[in-house]
């Protein structure tokens, strides 16, 4: 047969590449219950849609060229739910998926193709960091920092990262630049490994303490979601991408509305207490408003006094920003500010309208907040919100006090503002106001205190704000879903086919 020897060589080389780091390493991973780099791709994508880029690439140094199949990073293009994506899956069985001259060229290629062709970019992370022989000495310096766009993030297409093992070096950097980060519990993300870090700080440190899921999802906020398995992480990637367009020049995809989606909102009066002093979980309010089964919360364990949730209304993607009285009474702290700002950046960059559900007593004041630069975070939020170009619809449920009234897109900060009859528009809690304004406590003079509280409350009702046309409507809480659907129909970006202005496209991914 013509070309028989060459075709045989192709088959043999292909088999060596697909063997990855060898049978023993692959067997150990399987015994641990973890997928390998190629299995992760197969699970994530539409069947038989993967076209690999750089299958026969190897390490640039002669001593490793015969033991670096695909040079430790499997890259290419595929489809998810029929849509094209670009992806990189790190193969830890090959030199710990360490970053090298060759495999960084592969990453650069798929990144450029994703930006130029409008493809979401997915990083399946697990890496040991830089490949030291490639990076050592003057010659090593000459091969890094050669790509001026390596750390550029313009949010032309969504970026997603999964942390699926030990993640140092490139897996850390690309996660910090991504729009969505999901991690498997047991995975670690840090600048350097525990061993290197222990030497640097001169004391032992456990991997979980350095960069485990509790730290990343609850303290630093660098991960959006933690799950129990590789498969759950890959499912989360698919779900996240389903709310977003493939690129920023098109609106998000639409989905069918589940039957019965209008029913839960009819029970709204059973979810939210009439008294502003009683707490409730605002996520139940969001679920009652959204299409059935479509709520996908980001950063659930971080900045918990506010909920940021992707969902659908009438089949269309929307982002909810909602104060949650269940945590800190809904008062906004430094983490909550950072969480909301990053969520607004995400939604505005990819043409997702925003809905604000307001029940906020103000900002959480105190020494800790000042030490964390709270004033700057409040203004970061305002700066970002002033540049949002997608529709913003606000519903004030109960309290909306102080500066937080402005931050939660009330007044001229929104395209439409609606009030529940329970809305309370004071500057702070009435009892606290009397204490501040008059230096009087209830126990000092109960009758005088009651009179002063009534005076402070006089102009704080929903009717007073609506009377000044600072809100466009007062609605029955049970009609909130219908109101939001109709308001978003009015304010859809018709002149630009659902595409916003993207003024926040180069906002820092973490700060």
Helix (H) or strand (E) holding 63: none
CA distance 196 to 255: 48
The string over 100-139, giving b where at least 16 C-beta atoms fall within 10 Å of a residue's C-beta and e elsewhere, is bbbbbebbebbbebbbeebbbbbbbbbbbbbbebbbeeee
CA distance 216 to 218: 6
Q: How many angstroms from the chain centroid is the CA of residue 209? A: 23
CA distance 120 to 250: 13
According to the model, what pLDDT value does residue 448 have? Answer: 62
Question: Which tokens in the block code for residue 146?
Answer: 């050669």
According to the model, what pLDDT value does residue 440 have? Answer: 54
Distance of CA 142 to CAs 129, 134, 147, 249, Å?
Answer: 18, 10, 11, 37
DSSP E strands, 26-157: 51-52, 73-80, 83-90, 121-128
Question: Which tokens in the block code for residue 251?
Answer: 């609106």
- Which ranges constitute the DSSP H helices of 367-445? 367-371, 374-386, 404-407, 430-438
According to the model, what pLDDT value does residue 436 have? Answer: 45
Q: CA-CA-CA-CA torsion for 367, 371, 374, 376, nearest 10 degrees?
A: 150
The DSSP bridge pattern shows strands 51-52 and 73-80 to be antiparallel
- pTM for this model (two decimals): 0.92
Burial of 152 (0-12, 13-18, 19+ CB in 10 A): exposed
Can you give the pLDDT of all 511 residues of the chain as single tens digits?
779 999 999 999 999 999 999 999 999 999 999 999 999 999 999 999 999 999 999 988 888 888 999 999 999 999 999 999 999 999 999 998 888 888 889 999 999 999 999 999 999 999 988 787 777 666 666 666 677 778 888 999 999 999 999 998 889 999 999 999 999 999 999 988 888 888 888 888 888 888 999 999 999 999 999 999 999 999 999 999 999 999 999 999 999 999 999 999 999 999 999 887 899 999 999 999 999 999 999 999 999 999 999 999 999 999 999 999 999 999 999 999 999 999 999 999 999 999 999 999 999 888 888 888 899 999 999 999 999 999 999 999 999 998 999 999 998 899 999 999 999 987 556 555 545 444 556 666 666 656 555 555 556 789 989 999 999 999 999 999 999 999 999 999 998 999 999 999 999 887 7
Residues forming a β-bridge with 78: 85
How many C-beta atoms surround the C-beta of residue 404 within 10 A?
Answer: 21
Question: Which tokens in the block code for residue 96?
Answer: 């710990």
Write down all domains in the chain, each with its CATH number in brackets. 4-242 (3.90.226.10), 264-425+460-496 (3.90.226.10)
CA distance 206 to 444: 54
Distance of CA 382 to CAs 385, 387, 441, Å?
Answer: 5, 9, 34
Distance of CA 212 to CAs 98, 166, 216, 220, 222, Å?
Answer: 20, 10, 6, 11, 11
298 closest CA partner among 324, 320, 272, 273: 320
Q: What is the DSSP string of 263-319?
A: SGGGGGGGTS-SSTTS---HHHHHHHHSPTT--EEESTTSSTTEEEEEEEETTEEEE
């Amino acid at each position: 047969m013509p070309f028989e020897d060459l075709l045989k060589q192709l088959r043999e080389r292909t088999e060596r590449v697909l063997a990855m780091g060898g049978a023993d390493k692959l067997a150990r991973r399987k015994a641990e219950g973890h997928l390998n780099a190629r299995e992760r791709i197969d699970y994530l994508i539409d069947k038989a849609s993967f076209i690999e880029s750089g299958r026969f690439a190897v390490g640039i140094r002669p001593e490793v060229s015969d033991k670096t199949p695909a040079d430790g990073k499997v890259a290419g293009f595929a489809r998810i739910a029929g849509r094209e994506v670009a992806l990189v899956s790190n193969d830890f069985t090959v030199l710990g998926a360490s970053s090298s001259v060759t495999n960084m060229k592969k990453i650069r290629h798929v990144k450029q193709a994703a930006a130029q062709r409008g493809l979401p970019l997915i990083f399946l992370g697990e890496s040991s960091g830089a490949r030291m022989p490639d990076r050592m000495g003057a010659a090593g310096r000459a091969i890094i920092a050669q790509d001026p766009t390596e750390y550029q993030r313009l949010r032309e297409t969504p970026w997603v990262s999964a942390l699926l093992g030990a993640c140092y070096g490139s897996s850390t950097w690309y996660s910090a630049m991504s729009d969505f980060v999901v991690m498997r519990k047991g995975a670690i993300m840090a600048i350097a490994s525990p061993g290197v870090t222990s030497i640097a700080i001169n004391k032992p440190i456990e991997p979980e303490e350095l960069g485990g899921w509790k730290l990343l999802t609850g303290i630093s906020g660098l991960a959006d979601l933690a799950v129990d398995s590789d498969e759950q992480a890959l499912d989360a990637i698919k779900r996240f991408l389903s709310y977003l367009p493939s690129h920023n020049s098109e609106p998000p995809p639409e989905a069918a509305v589940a039957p019965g989606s209008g029913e839960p909102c009819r029970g709204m009066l059973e979810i939210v207490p009439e008294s502003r002093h009683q707490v409730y979980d605002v996520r139940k309010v969001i679920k009652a408003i959204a299409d059935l089964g479509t709520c996908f919360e980001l950063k659930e364990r971080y900045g918990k006094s506010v909920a940021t949730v992707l969902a659908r209304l009438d089949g269309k993607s929307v982002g909810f920003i909602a104060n949650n009285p269940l945590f800190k009474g809904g008062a906004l702290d430094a983490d909550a500010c950072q969480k909301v700002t990053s969520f607004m950046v995400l939604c505005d960059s990819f043409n997702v309208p925003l809905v604000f559900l307001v029940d906020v007593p103000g900002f959480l004041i105190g020494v800790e907040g000042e030490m964390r630069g709270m004033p700057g975070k409040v203004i970061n939020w305002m700066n970002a919100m002033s540049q949002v170009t997608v529709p913003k619809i606000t519903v004030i449920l109960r309290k909306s006090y102080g500066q937080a009234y402005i931050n939660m897109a009330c007044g001229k900060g929104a395209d439409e503002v609606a009030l529940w009859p329970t809305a309370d528009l004071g500057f702070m809690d009435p009892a606290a106001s009397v204490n501040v304004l008059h230096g009087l406590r209830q126990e000092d003079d109960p009758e005088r205190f009651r009179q002063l509280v009534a005076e402070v409350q006089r102009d704080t009702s929903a009717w007073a704000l609506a009377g000044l046309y600072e809100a466009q409507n007062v609605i029955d809480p049970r009609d909130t879903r219908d109101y939001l659907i109709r308001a978003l129909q009015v304010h859809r970006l018709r002149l630009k086919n659902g595409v916003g202005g993207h003024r926040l496209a180069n906002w820092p991914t973490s700060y």
